[in-house]
Amino acid sequence: MSARQPCGAIRGGSISAEPRINDRIRVPEVRLVGPSGEQVGIVPLAKALELAQEYDLDLVEVAANARPPVCKLMDYGKFKYESAMKAREARKNQAHTVIKEMKLRPKIDPHDYDTKKGHVVRFLKQGDKVKITIMFRGREQSRPELGYRLLQRLASDVEDLGFVESNPKQDGRNMIMVLGPHKKKTEAMAEAREAQAARKAEAKANPGKSQNHAGDDIPEGEVADADTETAEAPAEASAEA
């Protein structure tokens, strides 16, 4: 029988999250479950430990509150490893909605507007929400309609990618609107992975193709992968007109 012991015990009397295994189980008898899930029945603890040794497995207490406690024969080290891998994969595929921020001035010039709109388009394509802030200064505060019209224009320009989740509202010297993406974050992540895989396949099939040409199929305002976006987002989000 292996000498593996639970590693979650902490000095000072804290309760361990790890189940009791092998000789740490302190009951006279257990309801035993075999390695394939078959019900062995209620057996003395000594018999259960003997069977664990024969199978070269661990005796693991899986239901401590049952009477008698339920124990299963398993490779506990392998079980912990597989559980950790499943949890890691679940975290990897978990999508977190991110709120980006884009700041504009009410009298923004056309070139700057197109640039800022390009960032908003990219954020929405990636499945992120975008907080649009119009910043008023000086006498501009007496013309809130300028900011309102600008927000309405932007919402109309990107309506195929997002919708107005929070209508424009005045907040001190600023006017704020929140755009939500039509596409879910998980869908955007899946499409990004597919696109990246397609680019890698194309590069492999055409090794002589330069990196510049490899990126020709990426629309303006988009990035090749999520890692680049993570690095660039803070600088873009803080940019002002």
Domain CATH code at residue 140: 3.30.110.10
**Does residue 35 sit within a domain?**
yes
37-79 per-position pLDDT tens digit: 899 899 999 999 999 999 999 999 999 888 999 999 999 999 8
Task: Give the dihedral sign, CA 223/227/229/235.
Answer: negative
228 phi, psi to nearest 5 deg: -65, -40
Strand pairing partners for 171?
174
- pTM for this entry: 0.45
- Domain shared by 106 and 39, yes or no: no
In the prediction, which pLDDT does 208 show?
A: 66
Quick one: 125 and 65 in the same domain?
no
Q: What is the DSSP string of 12-81?
A: TTBPPSSPPBGGG---SEEEEE-TTS-EEEEEEHHHHHHHHHHHT-EEEEEETTSSSPEEEEE-HHHHHH
Instruction: List, in sequence order, every residue forming a beta bridge with 42; answer none if it has no partner.
Output: 31
Q: Is 103 in the same domain as 176?
A: yes
User: What are the structure tokens assigned to 111, written together?
Assistant: 């070139």
- Return the CATH number at 29: 3.10.20.80
Percent of the chain clearing pLDDT 90 (strictly above): 45
Say whether both 65 and 117 belong to one domain. Answer: no
* 47 vs 220 pLDDT, higher one: 47
Number of domains in the chain: 2
- Domain membership of residue 116 as a residue range: 99-181
**40 within domain boundaries:** yes
Higher pLDDT, 199 or 27: 27
